[in-house]
Amino acid sequence: MSSPQRNNPLHGLTLEKILNELVARHGWEELGRRLNIRCFIHEPSIPSSLKFLRRTPWARAQVEVLYLDTLRAASGKGDQ
């Protein structure tokens, strides 16, 4: 039986690492445009965003999808 995490590109990544990479690549303003989440629009910071994302599964899921899309685009495998 195979490990369920073997093909999971998020395995081993912390939410903080994901968020830091997205902010470095897109910036807060672009994150706020792409994901209409208040913690990215109103006085954004890593600590406050992490606190919100850890308590809010739907928002965390949106961040993870954007991160995966960003990885695909960077590797040239995306549709963008």
47: CATH: 1.10.720.30
Q: Residue 69: in which H helix or E strand, if any? A: helix 57-75
Domain assignment present for residue 68? The answer is yes
How many Cβ atoms from other residues are within 10 Å of residue 55's Cβ? Answer: 9
Please give the model's pTM, rounded to 2 decimal places.
Answer: 0.83
Domain assignment present for residue 2? The answer is no
Number of domains in the chain: 1
Which segments of 1-80 are extended strands (E)? none
Domain assignment present for residue 5? The answer is no
Domain assignment present for residue 54? The answer is yes
When pLDDT is averaged across residues 51-70 and rounded to a whole number, the result is 96
Banded model confidence at residue 18, pLDDT cuts 50, 70, 90: very high
Q: Enumerate helices (H) and strands (E) in the chain, giving the number of each.
A: 4, 0
Domain assignment present for residue 22? The answer is no
**Cβ burial, residue 39 (10 Å; 0-12/13-18/19+):** buried
Domain that holds residue 59: 27-72
The residue written with tokens 């792409």 in the block is 34
Domain assignment present for residue 9? The answer is no
pLDDT score of 28: 96
